Amino acid sequence: MEDAHDIAWMRLALDEARACLERDEVPVGAAIVVNNRLAARAGNRTRSDCDPTAHAEIVALRAAARQLGNYRLTEATLYVTLEPCAMCAGALIQARIARLVFGALDPKAGAVASHFGLCAAPTLNHRVAVTGGVLAEACGELLRGFFRQRRG
């Protein structure tokens, strides 16, 4: 059963993902929450910023660290509409994020549940609690619609 707080914050991440469509970005959105308060929100900016690292999670992590004045986000939960890739999962570990909540699985590049299990890897120095599948259908449909439109 999905938690009401998780659903509300994931809806905010979905709003960020929808905003990506206006910039012709892959619609992935993220929100970082500390003590049930928003610390940062972001969408993908790889094309806009001409930056291959500007995934929604990375942009949100940077903004939250600045906002909170600490690169260690030990009390934070990251909400993201798509399962993080290896780069983003690694960044979550480096930031010491407490919890990750994601929407849709990414069977091609997901590095949390679909492949690798990076957030729970016993050889790494930090583990992230993970909840997947929150508003998965809405998150997945936004992405599927974007790629259907692009492919014609």
What distance separates the 2 farthest-apart alpha carbons in the chain? 45
- Distance CA(30)–CA(81), nearest Å, equals 7
What pLDDT is recorded for position 1?
55
The pTM assigned to this predicted structure is 0.97
- Distance CA(57)–CA(53), nearest Å, equals 9
Q: Is the pLDDT score of 111 beyond 90?
A: yes
What's the pLDDT tens digit per position in 13-63?
999 999 999 999 999 999 999 999 999 999 999 999 999 999 999 999 999
H-helix segments, 69-135: 86-95
At 73 the three-state DSSP class reads: coil
Query: Which residues are part of the catalytic machinery?
Result: 57
- Dig out the tokens for 127 from the structure: 């583990």
By C-alpha distance, which of 14, 50, 18 is closest to 30? 14
- Distance CA(96)–CA(25), nearest Å, equals 27
